[in-house]
Amino acid sequence: MREVIHQYGVELEWVTDIAPKLGGYVDGNNIVVPGEARPGTRFILPINDNMTAFVVDVTYNEDVIYRLRNIRDDFVGVYYNLTEGDAVHILDDVSRLAGRWGCNLAVFDANLGGDYLVKMGCTTFMLAIFIKKSALKNYFSKTEQYDQILDSVFDSEKNTIVKFDRMGSQAWWLMNELRKTNATGALYETMVIGTVYGLLCDYLDQTANQEIILEKVVQEDVVNIIASQAYLVEHIEEQFAGITKLATDANMSETKYKRLFKKIIGITPNAFFLTNKLSFAKEKLETGNYTVGEIAVKFNFTDASHLIEQFKRAFGITPKEYLTLL
């Protein structure tokens, strides 16, 4: 397994640092890694003094573990990551699959590190945006919601910017436009910049509707919350474990646990659990091998009508109607 201990940043010194660790070299705006399964792209584009984009479009021919250890802490990384295959968040010594529930959009303060394993054969399409905190602050300053708390949001003593999320439809669309473009050279650069601006706009629009939770977070907290999230998914067929147990497992008070879960994942543990239960139930339903009643039992709903009611609330239609649409 290849171990890559690296850093990112708006300034580009990380590029020459990471290239040999990946077994490659820098060629213009690209990091070239010889011998990869298909000619991949690792494209770095400084957009302005405050922003740098990094596009990764590769198929891995070996296992790689990335250990992000930033030296600079003046930026935020926004990662749009479409990886197919086994990619794993490493949490202490435990590996958790970053599977379907896992994020494909991560927003990470530079002062948080993280470990991430990508298995051989994985195909990754990722766009990372490194943006200076001062520039991001400036964007947020035009948002009403941030009026009173802007300074606190960007005060590292009071708050850490961190979020694991799923891309919305606009972000998906933008990533796919970038992925399928056949532009090259200067035209490709305009496509990358256009995509970055589109994604940032979408990110601002999304956060404008989300509750802001101020909390200082350390790497250990993030690890514990992701572990807790993984636990919920692994026990998705059972009843909700309860905040007391989850908080104890995460080594936090219940209040802190609930706050951090919501801050990092975006919704409460309860809502997260139910939403995922319903998506799994929906998937089982799609196989056609189970009745609604059987699925209600399998996923520990009180009864079929409880499942139907929750299903309808989440997806807008009943399971029966959904099946006829397939």
Partner 1 sequence: MINKRLEFTYHYTLTPEWQQQIVENLGATLIDNKLLIIPEEIASGGSVFLEVLPGLSVHLLDMTFHVPVAITRAAKDHNYYMIYYDIGDEITTHILGDTVHQAGYHSKLGMGFMDSSVTGVIIPPVNERSYSLRLLVDKNYYKLLAATNRTAELSDLLFDESKNTLFFYSHIDSRSKVLLNKLKEDHHFSSSSFELKLKHIALYLLNYIVDRTADFEPIINKLSQQDIDNILKTSKYLLDNLLTEFPGIPVMADIAGMSGTKYKTLFKKILKDSPSNFFSNEKLLLAQKLLQSGDFNHINDIAYELGYNNPGYFSRMYKKMFGFSPVDVLIKSIY
In this chain, which of 119, 137, 153, 197 binds partner 1, going by CB under 8 A? 197
- In angstroms, the Cα distances linking 129 to 69, 195, 302, 324 are 17, 10, 45, 42
Is 73 an interacting residue with respect to partner 1 (CB under 8 A)? no
Minimum distance of partner 1 from residue 247's CB (angstroms): 36
Beta strands 123-132 and 162-165: pairing type?
A: unpaired
Question: Which residue is it, tokens 């891309």?
Answer: 167
Question: Minimum distance between the CB of residue 258 and partner 1, rounded to whole angstroms?
Answer: 29
Number of amino acids touching partner 1 (CB under 8 A): 25
Binding residues among 10-39 for partner 1 as defined by CB under 8 A: none
Of 32, 29, 4, the C-alpha closest to 18 is: 4
Pick from 26, 198, 212, 279 the residue near partner 1 by CB under 8 A: 198
Residues forming a β-bridge with 54: 44, 128
Nearer to partner 1, 78 or 232 (CB): 78
Judge contact between 293 and 286, C-beta under 8 A: no
Is 210 a binding residue for partner 1 by CB under 8 A? The answer is no
Which C-beta is closer to partner 1: that of 178 or that of 217? 178
Rounded to a whole number of angstroms, the minimum distance from the CB of residue 141 to partner 1 is 8
Distance CA 306, CA 210 (A): 29
Window contacting partner 1 (CB under 8 A); options: 152-160, 198-206, 273-281, 317-325: 198-206
User: Toward partner 1, which CB reaches closer, 193 or 241?
Assistant: 193
Taking residue 263's Cβ as centre, other Cβ atoms within 10 Å add up to 22
Cβ proximity to partner 1, 121 vs 198, nearer residue: 198
The structure tokens 């995922």 sit at 276
* β-bridge pairing 2-6 and 64-68: parallel
Identified binder of partner 1 from the candidate list 208, 214, 317, 323, rule CB under 8 A: 208
H helix or E strand, kind and range, residue 152: helix 150-153
Rounded to 10 degrees, the C-alpha dihedral 140/143/148/151 comes to 10
- 149-188 residues near partner 1, rule: CB under 8 A: 177, 181, 183-188
Nearer to partner 1, 140 or 273 (CB): 140
What residues pair up with 105 in beta bridges, in sequence order? 80, 165
Candidate residues 33, 67, 139, 309; the one interacting with partner 1 per rule CB under 8 A: 139
| Three-class SS state of 217 | coil
- The yes or no reply on residue 50 touching partner 1 (CB under 8 A) is no
46 contributes a contact to partner 1 by CB under 8 A: no
Contact flag: residue 323 with partner 1 (CB under 8 A): no
User: Toward partner 1, which CB reaches closer, 204 or 314?
Assistant: 204
* DSSP state letter for 215: -
Q: Contact with partner 1 (CB under 8 A): which of 12, 26, 200, 304?
A: 200
Of residues 73, 50, 48, 58, the one with CA closest to residue 24: 58
When the beta carbons of 109 and 202 are compared against partner 1, the nearer one is: 202
Cβ at position 201, least distance to partner 1 in Å: 4
Tokens linked to 171: 């972000």
* CB half-sphere exposure, 125, CA atoms < 13 A: 10
d(CA 118, CA 232): 23
Q: How far is the CB of 105 from partner 1 (least distance, A)?
A: 16
Q: Which residues bind partner 1 (CB under 8 A)?
A: 139-140, 142-143, 177, 181, 183-188, 190-191, 193-195, 197-198, 200-202, 204-205, 208
